[in-house]
Structure 1
Amino acid sequence: MTPKELKQILQALVEHGVNELTLETPDYKLTVRRGGEVQVVAVPQAVAAPVPAPQPPAALAPALAAEAAPPPSPAPEGTKGVDKAEECAGCVEIKAPIVGTFYRAPAPDAPPYVEEGDRVEKGQVLCIIEAMKLMNEIESEVSGIVKKILVKNGEPVEYGQPLFLIQPL
């Protein structure tokens, strides 16, 4: 990619109000976040993630909508929500900002980003959610200890679904 092409991409992001863009080729993966960072990662050609079924338009919801979403109503007795609260009082739930497929590692043969019991920092990548063939890195909202991973690798996730419980430090 030439500097001129990169400049055109950045101008398009600003003109259209896009907050994040991921561009993937056989040679590299480029993620651009407005107000954030630019990452270029070399990706081997042999790495391929399963392609999910087409997602409904809700898959296009911006990542920032998760912050503006109202808190979920309390779960009735005997449901999974009560079990999560009992497991980790005071924990922060990291929720899926989009609909897609949950992956714990950047590639099938790579180690997971985090394991239960790991210490994480705010902004550290916890997992990837693949949506419409785009790999979206999900970052921790707090510094703390990963108490529970609530989703299995390769499972589909819904918008707002809890993915991790993190005990803040």
Structure 2
Amino acid sequence: MNEKEIRKYAGLMKELDLTGLEITNDETKVRLERGSELVSVLPSAGTAGDPAACDTGKMQKKEGADAAASEGKTITSPLVGIFYAAAEENGKPFVAVGDHVKKGQTLCIVEAMKLLNEVTAEEDGVIKQICASNGQLVEYGTALFVME
């Protein structure tokens, strides 16, 4: 089962307000579940800094971003969607930890309803942490990056 099919079923779950769905075909069995409480997805090794510095085990909402902001400026998601670190699958990420970024530079893409929304730097700085992992569902106010 490919990502496109999984996304189709996830959309169906949302449309029908289902909390769980299990799909079985020849060799694949996929179980999709959603609940009222969001669970964080740990970033893959080498792409992000210490996830504990970005949040405390749950997706960080805007009002909770102050903890990470004490160590730098937190860049949060402007909308609900899927976080993408690169313009294409297996492509080079827009930014990495330690990169110097300029105001207006693209940091990531958040896909919402088939629209790709670029998240850009509001000021010059250095990427200190990447708080989201590629393909992760993020909601409005979720911490994406910490800059200094």
Is TM (by shorter chain) over 0.5? Answer: yes
Aligned to 2:88: 107
TM-score by length of 2: 0.57
Instruction: Please tell me the root mean square deviation across aligned C-alpha atoms, in Å.
Output: 2.4
Which consecutive unaligned segments of at least 5 residues does structure 1 have?
1-47, 57-70
2:135 to 143, 154, 165: 154
1:139 pairs with 2:120: yes
Is 2:114 the counterpart of 1:129? no
Q: 1:94 to 1:128 in 2, by over 3 A?
A: same
Cα distance between partner residues in 2 of 1:129 and 1:51: 15
Is the partner of 1:98 in helix, strand or coil?
Answer: coil
> After the TM superposition, which residues 1-169 of structure 1 pair with which residues of structure 2 at under 5 Å, given as runs?
51=7, 53-54=10-11, 72=63, 82=67, 84-85=68-69, 88=71, 91-167=72-148
Of structures 1 and 2, the larger Rg is shown by 1
What's the CA shift for 1:51?
Answer: 3.7
Contact 2:82–2:110 under 8 Å retained in 1: yes
- Indicate if the aligned counterparts of 1:99 and 1:156 stay in contact, CA closer than 8 A: yes
Q: 1: CA distance between counterparts of 2:85 and 2:109? A: 6
**C-alpha distance in structure 2 between counterparts of 1:131 and 1:81, whole Å:** 26
| 3-state SS, counterpart of residue 123 of structure 1 | coil
Alpha-carbon offset, residue 92 of structure 1:
1.1
User: Per-residue deviation at 1:110?
Assistant: 1.1
Q: Give the C-alpha shift of residue 121 in structure 1.
A: 0.4
- The percent identity for this pair of structures is 41
**Equivalent pairs, count:** 95
TM-score, length basis structure 1: 0.50
- Residue by residue, what CA displacement relative to the aligned partner does 1:92-125 show, whole Å, maximum 9, x if unpaired? 1111001000000000121000000000001100
Large movers: runs of 4+ above 3 Å: 50-56
Preserved CA contact (<8 Å) 1:102 1:127: yes
- Which residue in 1 is equivalent to 2:24? none
Q: CA deviation at 1:85?
A: 4.7
Q: Which amino acid aligns with 1:144?
A: G
Query: What is the distance in 2 between the residues matched to 1:157 and 1:105?
Result: 16
- For residue 156 of structure 1, what is the amino acid of its counterpart? L
* Cα distance, 1:131 vs structure 2: 0.4
Give the counterpart letter for 1:98 in structure 2. Answer: L
Q: Unmatched 5+ residue regions in structure 2?
A: 16-61
Cα distance in 1 for residues equivalent to 2:116 and 2:97: 22
Tell me if structure 2 keeps the 8 A contact 1:51–1:133. Answer: no
